[in-house]
């Protein structure tokens, strides 16, 4: 029987060089749910995601995925559990886009890194899904930011994770690819029970895809709730510090109406 995994943070404190930035984040998320982090520039969304992905050491607290204590997982186990797409650039010297996607299979290839026929098939179908086949032989260092974002998504998909961590995954995508990206996420959520934790700046997309929203502001995660609970005018304007005159202007009203529920 499939376990109803839950992602849990218990008083997670994150920051740099021993100095806490966000303290005591506590939340739980059911398997197959999409959690979106929102908040102003510099609030700490990437810092939280890097800490969950264990690319930055947490300063305190615990993180669980199902029964697994994420801090105690081996690198291999972590790679079989979660795929991570952060904004940091990969160090790739003369790698083709296919090579970058193929990295997604490394948790499964054994110590010599040899790709089986099944691995190769998964690499091709992930590239097909996000439409990057035409980039497969191109140098990863010489493609556009939006193309790079899609190649990294293909890498994450062929890793077949249970948990997908994404930092601003749509920031460089044009409207077609933004829609395509969101529909792929919803498909993976529905068909594979994928759990997703991501940050988004495009608030108009947040209500379309999120089951839960975590709001990051100041020293604490300010609120955690459903889109209906969070995407309310007064709260969102306060969270982002939108001045009253902008909020009341025609442009402000129009933009806010596409975001709020």
Nearest to 218 by CA among 43, 26, 51: 43
Q: C-beta of 48: minimal distance to ligand ATP in Å?
A: 7
Under rule CB under 6 A, residue 243 binds ligand ATP: no
* Residues 43-82, interacting with ligand ATP (CB under 6 A): 43-47
- The Cα 123–Cα 44 span in angstroms is 33
Q: C-beta of 234: minimal distance to ligand ATP in Å?
A: 22
Q: C-beta of 57: minimal distance to ligand ATP in Å?
A: 12
43 vs 78, which CB is nearer to ligand ATP? 43
Nearest to 167 by CA among 216, 200, 202, 215: 200
Under rule CB under 6 A, residue 170 binds ligand ATP: no
Under rule CB under 6 A, residue 42 binds ligand ATP: yes
Selected binder of ligand ATP within 41, 94, 245, 254 (CB under 6 A): 41
Tell me how many residues contact ligand ATP (CB under 6 A): 10
109 vs 171, which CB is nearer to ligand ATP? 171
How many Cβ atoms are within 10 Å of 66's Cβ, its own excluded?
A: 15
Q: C-beta of 21: minimal distance to ligand ATP in Å?
A: 5
Under rule CB under 6 A, residue 39 binds ligand ATP: yes
What burial letters (b/e) apply to 2-16, b meaning 16+ CB within 10 Å?
Answer: eeebebbbeebbbbe
* Residues 2-21, interacting with ligand ATP (CB under 6 A): 16, 21
Tell me the window of 34-42, 131-139, 143-151, 222-230 that interacts with ligand ATP (CB under 6 A): 34-42
CB-based contact 132:181 (threshold 8 Å)? no
Under rule CB under 6 A, residue 185 binds ligand ATP: no
β-pairing verdict for 163-167 and 82-85: parallel
- The Cα 243–Cα 248 span in angstroms is 9
32 vs 44, which CB is nearer to ligand ATP? 44
Q: From residue 85 to residue 104, what is the string marking binding to ligand ATP with x (rule CB under 6 A)?
A: --------------------
Tell me the window of 40-48, 175-183, 231-239, 250-258 that interacts with ligand ATP (CB under 6 A): 40-48
Q: Cβ contacts of residue 205 below 8 Å, gap of 6+?
A: 170, 178, 182
* Binding footprint of ligand ATP on the chain (CB under 6 A): 16, 21, 39, 41-47
């Amino acid at each position: 029987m499939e376990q109803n995994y839950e992602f849990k943070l218990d008083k997670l404190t994150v920051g740099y060089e021993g100095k806490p930035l966000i303290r005591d984040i506590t939340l739980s998320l059911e398997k197959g749910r999409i959690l979106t982090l929102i908040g102003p520039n510099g609030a700490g969304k990437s810092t939280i995601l890097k800490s969950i992905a264990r690319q930055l050491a947490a300063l305190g607290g615990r993180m669980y995925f199902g029964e697994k204590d994420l801090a105690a997982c081996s690198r291999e186990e972590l790679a079989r559990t979660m795929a991570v797409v952060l904004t940091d650039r990969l160090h790739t010297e003369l790698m083709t886009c296919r090579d970058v996607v193929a990295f997604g299979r490394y948790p499964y290839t054994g110590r010599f890194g040899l790709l089986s026929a099944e691995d190769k098939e998964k690499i091709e179908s992930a590239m097909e899904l996000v439409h990057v086949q035409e980039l497969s032989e191109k140098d990863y260092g010489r493609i556009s930011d939006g193309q790079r974002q899609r190649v990294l998504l293909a890498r994450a998909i062929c890793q077949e994770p249970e948990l997908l961590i994404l930092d601003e995954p749509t920031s460089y995508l044009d409207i077609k690819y933004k829609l395509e990206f969101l529909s792929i996420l919803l498909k993976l959520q529905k068909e594979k029970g994928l759990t997703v934790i991501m940050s988004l700046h495009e608030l108009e997309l947040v209500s379309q895809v999120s089951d839960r929203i975590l709001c990051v502001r100041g020293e604490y995660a300010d609120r955690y709730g459903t889109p209906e609970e969070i995407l309310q005018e007064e709260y969102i304007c306060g969270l982002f510090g939108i001045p009253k005159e902008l909020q009341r202007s025609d442009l402000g009203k129009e933009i806010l109406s596409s975001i709020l529920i």
